[in-house]
Structures are given as structure tokens and as C-alpha cells.
Structure 1
């Protein structure tokens, strides 16, 4: 059967990336809801088979400045309570953490660039195991300045030296990823053009990010597609008929 996927997108190039390729390979329908172009409270969060909340440069705690965050949090709360498959990436993971009652706040330092994850025992037993090759972690892309406390009842999956809570699951149906395993190397230039201020405040530069993405991107794409595929197939997101 075909599944409808709803992706909440804050920035046009922070899309589903290789997750969309996984879904396309399986013949599933993807619908984007672009923040600022539609009422965020319009969709029924219980309708899609899968809901994905994507990244963006704002804080998950800034609903006073960005009013769409309040109804989006309410959508997440309702969907998670209903036990429906939900993924959050970067800002999306922070919003999931908030929806589960955890604190989101500025990190001690911005994490920007390619760094491997350290998987927990639970992480190695999960679909994130694909982010290791021959027992060694592969570099994963990071671009964030905020972090979150692990929600009560969550299973911690991964960390980095700069960010203790890189990934978690909650129940069987929620996956939160602070990093960006969805990123596609051939679309990466948009990140460099859009966020020069972040780069200027970091320990890296445009040339290094571009070179690292060309080197590590294809490896991550293969690993992340396997990761997303394994996670989705637990919910019968196999080949559509």
C-alpha cells in the first residue's frame, strides 16, 4: 500500500534529502508543508502515515517570535500520543523533545561540520547501526547551535563531544536526530550561500565544508538510506503495491 508522508519544511533546501529518495524508491507520496506559505494548524496530524519535521535556523523555544511553533508543537503532541511514526531532524528533533516535555536551549558551542557519532549500545542495536562501517563510525553532517535534554522515557542512541544528545527514540514510533543524515552532497551549496554568518562564527570555513562534503557525503548518503529504510520498514513502509 502507498503511504502519505507529511514533511514540515522551514527552509526550502532543508528538505527530506535522501529520506525522500528512500520513500520514492518505495513509491510513497510526499507532501511538503512550507512554513510561511500555509497555515501550520491546517493539517490533521493524525492523517499522514509518516510525519517528518525538518530543520531550520530558529529556536524551538522561540514561539513568541515565530507563532507557528505553538500549533506545530500541539500537532506533535497529538501525533506522538497516538503512537504514529514521527521523525524530527535538527530543529525537528528539538521540537519533538519539547513536545515530550524536555528543555531545549542554546548549546555551549555551535556544532558545524562533519563529525562521527558515538553510538550507545541501544544505538548499535537500532537502525543507526548503519552509521558505522566495519565497526568504525562514519562522519555525519552537523549544523546546529541548540541542544536539548533527553526526554523522560526516551532511549538515548548517540552523542558527539560537542552534543551529548544527538539522537533518541521514544517508544517504537518516534525518531529524533539532531544531526543531518538526510543531507545530499549535490544540494549542499545552498547551505553555504544561506548561512555565511554561522560559518564565520565557527571553527571551519566554506572551502573546508565544501571539500568535506564532497569527500564524506556519498558515504553518508548510502549509510543514511540504509538507516532510514530499516527504520521505515518496521512500519510496513516497504515497496508500495
Structure 2
């Protein structure tokens, strides 16, 4: 299996998913947009993972590579290839499929629960409720034909499925203590006290136990996306 990762900033990599990829992927390619890397041929990708980042999918004027990235995501989806989008990556999938991405009512940063939504049996099944790691200020409308899989009190569209093998997550299942420390270091200015923004000390207090729980779910999701 040829996996490919779309990485937007150096400090938001695959996290715990790197272990699963080492076990299951014959090769793992990267497009580091922050380094000016080129995109591969969509036909050469068997699993696509779009990571997070502090930019907006609407920043096409300042970041013109977003246009090419969305076109690439559309092409990969059209081939029936499994695609996973995380945070910004989920917003990119939504935007690539014609849905609107816009500021959420409140910024959501820290460990907060998401609740599973009723969904057809053909969809990935989330636990009824699980505490996950959030770091976002924007949200998205569901693309036409997509199914909502999870919500939170602060944000309606937390996870969705499009077709049989495309899943977007507004939250992070790949978070490890190391990746959490990196995002807190690079985005510390966003930790402004608010209802859905936890202090750094509260975020750190949930590590590493909460990471272990969500990393298991990340593995299950990758297994499901790449099922025969």
C-alpha cells in the first residue's frame, strides 16, 4: 500500500499514525507544503491523509498551493481511494467537495468529548462518547451527500463520512504527548481563556492517558478505511 501524507506545517505530522503506517504501508510519501514540495500523481496513492495546520482553507490568495491541494484531494476521492482528513484536513475535504468553511462560534482547544451520531451501518462507528483532542477555530458545512458521524457541544460537525472510504475529523486522534507539546509551543498565543479553551496545564494533565485511548481509535479508523 502506498500511503501519502499532506503536511502543512512542520509541527503537525502523523503522530501515532506513524506506527500504523510503518506496520501496514509499503511506502509513505509526503507533500510538505511548508517546504514547497510537489504533489504526486493521484493514481500513485492508495491511502491519503491530510493533516492539520493553523491556516484557513480560505487563504488561497496568500497560500495559492491550497488551490492545487483541493484539486488533488478531489482527484484522489474520485478514484475511490481511502482519504482521512484531520482538523484542517477535514476542512480541506469539505471545501474540495463544495462545502463552506467558516469561523466556528467559539474556538475549541483541549480535551472535550464528542458524541456519536446515528449513522448507516456502512459508516465508521464511533463510540457513543469519547474525549478527544481539539485545536480549531473554524468549522465546515457537510458536503452534499456526506453523513455526520459525531458532534460536540461547541461544534456541530465534528466528523463526517463521504462515500465509502472518505472520513473527515475536526478533532485529533493521532495526538501524542510529543505532538501536543509541539502544537502548544507553536500556537501558544491561541490559548486565550474561554469556555472551550483549556489552559495548557489542564491539557498536559490529560497526557498521556487520553492519548492512549484516542490512538487506539485512530488505528481502528485506519483499519476500517483500508479494509479489503
TM-score by length of 2: 0.92
- Distance of 1:160 and 1:193 partners within structure 2: 25
C-alpha displacement of 1:170: 0.8
Once residues 176 and 170 of structure 1 are traced to their aligned partners in structure 2, the CA distance between those partners, rounded to angstroms, is 8
Matched residue SS, 1:163: coil
CA contact (8 A) 2:115 2:130 kept: no
Q: CA deviation at 1:143?
A: 0.4
Matched, 1:158 2:150: yes
Change (3 A) 1:35 1:173: same
Residue of structure 1 aligned with 2:185, choices 175, 193, 201:
193
Where do 5+ consecutive residues of structure 2 fail to align?
none
The structure showing larger relative contact order (alpha-carbon pairs under 8 Å, at least 6 residues apart) is: 1
2-structure distance, mates of 1:158, 1:125:
15
Correspondent of 1:7 among 2, 5, 27: 5
8 Å Cα contact 1:20/1:30 also seen in 2 = no
> Is 1:139 the counterpart of 2:131 in the alignment?
yes
Show the counterpart of 1:170. 162
Structure 1 residue 123 displacement after superposition: 7.6
**CA–CA distance in structure 1, aligned partners of residues 153 and 90 of structure 2:** 18
1:95 and 2:92 aligned: yes
Tell me how large the CA RMSD over aligned residues is: 1.8
Aligned partners of 1:152 and 1:27: how far apart in 2? Answer: 31
In 2, the alpha carbon distance for the partners of 1:213 and 1:155 equals 31
SS of structure 2 residue aligned to 1:164: coil
Deviation at 1:125, TM superposition (A): 6.7
- Residue 207 (str. 1) matches residue 201 (str. 2): yes
Q: CA deviation at 1:27?
A: 4.5
Q: What TM-score do you get using the length of structure 1 for normalisation?
A: 0.87
Write the distance in 2 (CA, Å) between the matches of 1:190 and 1:228: 24
- 1:1-241 matches, cutoff 5 A: 3-40=1-38, 42-122=39-119, 126-129=123-126, 132=127, 137-200=129-192, 202=194, 203-232=197-226, 234=227, 236=228
User: How far apart in 1 are the matches of 2:30 and 2:120?
Assistant: 29
In structure 1, stretches of 5+ residues that fail to align are 237-241
- Return the alpha-carbon distance in structure 1 between the equivalents of residues 25 and 66 of structure 2: 31
- Summarize the Cα distance change of 1:68–1:140 in structure 2 as closer, same or farther, 3 Å threshold: same
How big is the shift at 1:74? Answer: 0.8
- The alpha carbon displacement at 1:201 in A equals 5.1
**Separation in 2 of the partners of 1:229 and 1:83?**
16
C-alpha displacement of 1:64: 0.7
CA distance in structure 1 between the aligned counterparts of 2:27 and 2:11, rounded to whole angstroms: 19
